[in-house]
């Protein structure tokens, strides 16, 4: 499978804080790439460097043929190719569900209004919220908001989806509805990078798992390798703690 | 522990130089508002009734009625005061929006320029600014009284309203800008489509307060040959020598106006709270 995202020797410092240290990885088309690790280990920073919400301190990131980290990078194109889903949903509260989804295609890609709305409705159908197109985010549950946020990101027709702890603000029931949507996406062949501690989901859907600690990648492998037979002591300790809780 | 301490050290006493906003759920201020408001209206009605000379005459003169109680807009201090206030707030909003955007701009020259503007304006008393702008402008152009007044008030209040816009923009959660950028919008698209529409709601109540403050401060323009409420009062007093009675009426009219608008701002805030709580 062709490579979709390539991270080469990336480091990122915030002043004195090292958030990423020499991180390298490859994500192939159709991968569901899981990143796990304790709080502050640099998982969000890594995702945010991939769509350039943060600038790397050194190293290179490629999304297909586009160099994300170069000074001449076409940031707008990179962000079109990478959809992002946040822990706190970040729906636009002053817009309806439909407008949340159609705004970016219309003003960034100059898609015609009716065409954008057709696409939005088919996406809403996919996430099971076709009846909510006129609702505002404050009228939706957390799980519904997150599913709209996923539809909104998909409306730009991205090549990679970045998920930053998409379910950690949700209770178990709502978590399931969001994971179901993500599962469908994975089955359809969407390339995804997912920061999450939903181990059950990771075991079922992930093609690769990376364990990060203290700004570095400690261990990388298939879900079986990482979850059932971790090699590094730090990975073992982390998994024990996560499974306990 | 550490978090609580941090919170406490950040606690501020929130007292502004504006009027108290009479919200319904703040019963002590609300009842004080009712006493003042209805008291002032009673005084406005009763005083001219009990002694038409001079109270009734003062009232007619400053509000702009002639002998036969016909309204004459050209001689109305009330209309002039509103004219100055409304025009000034309009231009101040315009300046304030630009300054607020400038204060969060990433272009350091624009950012610096706007910050200096805010610092300088807020450091000079409004009365001094009025004199300064009036005579500075008079050096170059011969402008009419009311334009000079409006320009000066707008320049001054633009600085304060700029700070309100800046605070309002910064009060929108960071995730909103990030979500917009992540969808491929440019920063200016994100500000125009996502941030500002949400800011409006936040800044409306404090801008209401500024409107009231400006209404009061507009009395300063009476020194610039603008025939507002206060100047009409001065004109009347200086010919009739009823100083005390005249300024009593002027004060009552200002009081009624500010109390009326402060209640309006409170109602607006209450409406917004209801909207926000409906979620
Ligand atoms: N904008 C920033 N400014 C300064 N330091 C930052 C910034 N963003 C992240 N950091 C620091 O970088 C490190 C990595 O943060 P990051 O958010 O990537 O961790 P994370 O693995 O996503 O953690 P969590 O599980 O809590 O979300 C942390 O030490 C954090 O404090
Ligand atoms: Mg994070």
To the nearest whole percent, how much of chain B has pLDDT over 90? 53
Q: Considering the domain boundaries, does residue B156 fall inside one?
A: yes
Q: What pLDDT is stored for residue A132 in this prediction?
A: 95
pLDDT (tens digit, 9 = 90+) per residue, A161-173? 999 999 999 999 9
What was the ipTM of the complex prediction? Answer: 0.95
> Is residue B133's pLDDT more than 90?
no
The total number of structural domains in chain B stands at 1
- Establish whether residue A19 lines the binding site of ligand 1, counting it when its CB lies within 6 angstroms of any ligand atom: yes
pLDDT (tens digit, 9 = 90+) per residue, A51-95? 999 999 999 999 998 999 988 889 999 999 999 999 999 999 999
Q: Considering the domain boundaries, does residue B31 fall inside one?
A: no
For chain B, give the mean pLDDT: 86
Distance (Å, whole) CA B107 – CA B102: 8
Q: Find the mean pLDDT for residues A5-34.
A: 96
Q: Which residues of B touch A109 (CB under 8 A)?
A: 184
> Is residue B28's pLDDT more than 70?
yes
Q: Which residues of A touch B279 (CB under 8 A)?
A: 138-139
3-state percent helix, strand, coil for chain A, nearest multiple of 5: 40, 25, 30
Residues 6+ positions from A216 with CB-CB distance below 8 Å: A20, A21, A22, A23, A42
Going by pLDDT thresholds of 50, 70 and 90, the confidence category of residue A10 is: very high
Going by pLDDT thresholds of 50, 70 and 90, the confidence category of residue A41 is: very high
Instruction: Confirm if B179 and A108 have CB atoms less than 8 A apart.
Output: no
Q: What pLDDT is stored for residue B13 in this prediction?
A: 57
Distance (Å, whole) CA A213 – CA A211: 7
pLDDT (tens digit, 9 = 90+) per residue, A105-116? 999 999 999 999
Q: What pLDDT is stored for residue B74 in this prediction?
A: 82
Put simply, the answer to whether B175 touches A76 (Cβ < 8 Å) is no
Distance (Å, whole) CA B187 – CA B176: 11
> Is residue B1's pLDDT more than 60?
no
pLDDT (tens digit, 9 = 90+) per residue, B51-76? 888 888 888 888 888 878 888 888 88
Q: What pLDDT is stored for residue B279 in this prediction?
A: 45
pLDDT (tens digit, 9 = 90+) per residue, B6-15? 444 445 455 5
Q: Find the mean pLDDT for residues B120-138.
A: 86
Q: What pLDDT is stored for residue B10 in this prediction?
A: 46
pLDDT (tens digit, 9 = 90+) per residue, B173-206? 999 999 999 999 999 999 999 999 999 988 988 9
Q: Considering the domain boundaries, does residue B127 fall inside one?
A: yes
Q: Considering the domain boundaries, does residue B273 fall inside one?
A: yes
If you measure CA to CA, which chain B residue comes closest to A85?
A: B179
Per the listing, tokens 């949400």 go with: B198
| Cross-sheet strand order for the sheet of A66-67 | A17-28, A3-14, A58-63, A66-67
Put simply, the answer to whether A88 touches B173 (Cβ < 8 Å) is yes
β-sheet bridge partners, residue A161: A83, A192
- Establish whether residue A189 lines the binding site of ligand 1, counting it when its CB lies within 6 angstroms of any ligand atom: no
Q: Considering the domain boundaries, does residue B135 fall inside one?
A: yes
Q: Considering the domain boundaries, does residue B15 fall inside one?
A: no
Going by pLDDT thresholds of 50, 70 and 90, the confidence category of residue B223 is: confident
Put simply, the answer to whether B185 touches A104 (Cβ < 8 Å) is yes
> Is residue A156's pLDDT more than 50?
yes
Containing structural domain, residue B98: 72-278
pTM of the model: 0.86
Q: How much is the CA Rg of chain B, to the nearest whole Å? A: 22
Going by pLDDT thresholds of 50, 70 and 90, the confidence category of residue A144 is: very high
Residues 6+ positions from A47 with CB-CB distance below 8 Å: A35, A84, A162, A164, A193, A195
Q: Which class for A188: exposed (0-12), middle (13-18), buried (19 or more C-beta within 10 A)?
A: exposed
- Establish whether residue A45 lines the binding site of ligand 1, counting it when its CB lies within 6 angstroms of any ligand atom: yes
Q: Where residue B250 sits, what CATH number does that domain have? A: 1.10.3720.10
- Establish whether residue A147 lines the binding site of ligand 1, counting it when its CB lies within 6 angstroms of any ligand atom: no
Q: What pLDDT is stored for residue B270 in this prediction?
A: 83
Q: Considering the domain boundaries, does residue B14 fall inside one?
A: no
Q: Considering the domain boundaries, does residue B250 fall inside one?
A: yes
To the nearest whole percent, how much of chain A has pLDDT over 90? 91
Distance (Å, whole) CA A234 – CA B241: 91
Stretch among A138-152, B88-102, B221-235 having the lowest mean pLDDT: B221-235
């Amino acid at each position: 499978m062709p490579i979709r995202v390539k991270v080469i020797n990336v480091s990122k410092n915030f002043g004195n804080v090292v958030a990423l240290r020499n991180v390298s990885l490859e994500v192939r088309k159709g991968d569901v790439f899981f990143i796990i690790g304790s709080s502050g280990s640099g998982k969000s920073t890594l995702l945010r460097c991939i769509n350039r919400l943060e600038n790397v301190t050194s190293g290179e990131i490629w999304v297909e043929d586009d160099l994300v980290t170069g000074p001449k990078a076409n940031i707008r194109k990179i962000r079109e190719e990478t959809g992002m889903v946040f822990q706190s949903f970040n729906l636009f509260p002053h817009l309806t569900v439909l407008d949340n989804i159609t705004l970016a295609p219309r003003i960034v890609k100059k898609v015609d209004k009716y065409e954008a709305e057709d696409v939005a409705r088919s996406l809403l159908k996919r996430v099971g919220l076709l009846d909510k197109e006129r609702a505002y985010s404050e009228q939706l549950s957390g799980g519904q908001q997150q599913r709209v946020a996923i539809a909104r990101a998909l409306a730009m027709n991205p090549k990679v989806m970045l998920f930053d702890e998409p379910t950690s603000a949700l209770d178990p029931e709502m978590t399931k509805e969001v994971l179901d949507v993500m599962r469908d996406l994975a089955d359809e062949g969407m390339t995804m990078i997912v920061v999450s501690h939903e181990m059950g989901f990771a075991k079922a859907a992930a093609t690769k798992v990376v364990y990060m600690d203290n700004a570095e990648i400690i261990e990388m492998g298939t879900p079986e390798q990482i979850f059932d037979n971790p090699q590094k002591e730090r990975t073992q300790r982390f998994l024990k703690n996560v499974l306990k809780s | 522990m550490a978090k609580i301490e941090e919170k406490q050290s950040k606690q501020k006493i929130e007292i502004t130089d504006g009027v108290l906003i009479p919200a319904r759920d703040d019963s002590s201020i609300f009842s004080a508002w009712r006493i003042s408001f209805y008291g002032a209206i009673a005084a406005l009605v009763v005083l001219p009734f009990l002694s038409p000379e001079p109270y009734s005459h003062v009232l007619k003169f400053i509000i702009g009625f002639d002998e036969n109680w016909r309204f004459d807009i050209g001689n109305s201090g009330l209309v002039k005061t509103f004219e100055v206030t409304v025009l000034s707030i309009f231009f101040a909003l315009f300046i304030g929006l630009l300054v607020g955007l400038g204060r969060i701009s990433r272009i350091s020259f624009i950012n610096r320029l706007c910050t200096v503007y805010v610092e300088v304006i807020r450091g000079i008393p409004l009365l001094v600014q009025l004199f300064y702008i009036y005579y500075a402008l008079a050096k170059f152009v011969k402008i009419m009284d009311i334009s000079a007044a409006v320009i000066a008030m707008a320049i001054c209040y633009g600085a304060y309203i700029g700070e309100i816009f800046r605070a309002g923009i910064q009060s929108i959660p960071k995730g909103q800008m990030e979500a917009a950028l992540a969808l491929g919008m440019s920063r200016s698209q994100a500000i125009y489509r996502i941030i500002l529409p949400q800011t409006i709601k936040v800044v409306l109540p404090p801008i209401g307060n500024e409107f009231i403050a400006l209404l009061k401060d507009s009395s300063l323009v009476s020194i610039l040959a603008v025939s507002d409420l206060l100047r009409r009062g001065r004109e009347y007093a200086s010919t009739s020598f009823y100083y005390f009675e005249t300024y009593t009426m002027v004060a009552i009219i200002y009081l009624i106006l500010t109390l009326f608008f402060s209640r309006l701002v409170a109602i607006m805030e209450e409406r917004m709270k209801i909207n926000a709580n409906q979620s």
